[in-house]
Amino acid sequence: MFKHKMRKTLTFITILITFAGIIFLLYEMNINTSIQSRNNSRDSILVETLKEALRFQVETVGVRLDGSVIIEDERNDTLSLRNVIGNSPKVILHFSDLSCSACIDIELPRLKQLREAVGEDKVLILTSYDSRRTFEVFRQVSGINSGVYNLRGLKIGLSTEKSQIPSLFLIDSSLVVRSMFIPLKEFPELSDVFYQAMRKRFLEAH
């Protein structure tokens, strides 16, 4: 009698442990699948972002920008893009008030370092703020007082302008884009590669 009761109890315990095990396994499988799916989803977005960046680069390299576009400098004087570029190549960071501001925040310290290394006149910032006040605040906050220009919504012929994507590019004196890079906040190390390449190019040229 005691043995029979004992066997029944053991059977219940075994069933319970089996159930608990199955539930635990199902839960673990669910969590792992979700994490896997999240990682896949993240990778897919990054791949799409990189594809998009690559597309902009392919579309823009070799394009001649519109030199007749009139821009404003820090003193609110107007001048043409052609006059700003002058007779030597320039590295330009271009963005608008609708661009991802976190991406710009990441680029600015690197851009300042490049300016210090190769000369302020060789590295320019072309913003496109509708409001002169916003442009003024940007200049105050960034601490960059020269070589900053405002397009005030005018387009210069970059493929990134429609999508409000920030871009870094090298332009020659004939206003042709020779090299282009889309800075991505997910890959700051790639920005470093671009800046190093620009630094090398300018320093070796002199």
What does the radius of gyration of the chain's CA atoms come to, in whole angstroms? 28
Across-strand partners of 79?
71
Q: How far apart are CA 47 and CA 97, in angstroms?
A: 26
Least spacing, CB of residue 34 vs other proteins, in Å: 5
Least spacing, CB of residue 194 vs other proteins, in Å: 22
For residue 69, the 8-state DSSP code is -
Q: How far apart are CA 5 and CA 137, in angstroms?
A: 83
Q: What is the DSSP string of 99-132?
A: S-HHHHHHHHHHHHHHHHHH-GGGEEEEEE-S-H
Question: Strand ranges (DSSP E) for the chain?
Answer: 70-72, 78-80, 90-96, 123-128, 148-150, 167-171, 177-181
Least spacing, CB of residue 35 vs other proteins, in Å: 8
Q: How far apart are CA 150 and CA 31, in angstroms?
A: 50
Give CA torsion, residues 99, 51, 106, 206, to 10 deg: -110
Least spacing, CB of residue 42 vs other proteins, in Å: 5
Nearer to other proteins (CB atom), residue 102 or residue 204 = 102
Nearer to other proteins (CB atom), residue 26 or residue 203 = 26
Nearer to other proteins (CB atom), residue 54 or residue 193 = 54
Least spacing, CB of residue 48 vs other proteins, in Å: 4
How far lies 94's CA from each of 21, 123, 183, in Å? 58, 11, 11
Nearer to other proteins (CB atom), residue 78 or residue 88 = 78
Nearer to other proteins (CB atom), residue 66 or residue 97 = 97
Least spacing, CB of residue 30 vs other proteins, in Å: 7
Residues in touch with other proteins (CB under 8 A): 12, 15-16, 19, 23, 30-31, 34, 38, 41-42, 44-45, 48-49, 51-52, 97, 101-102, 105, 130-134, 136-138, 140-141, 163
Nearer to other proteins (CB atom), residue 121 or residue 186 = 186
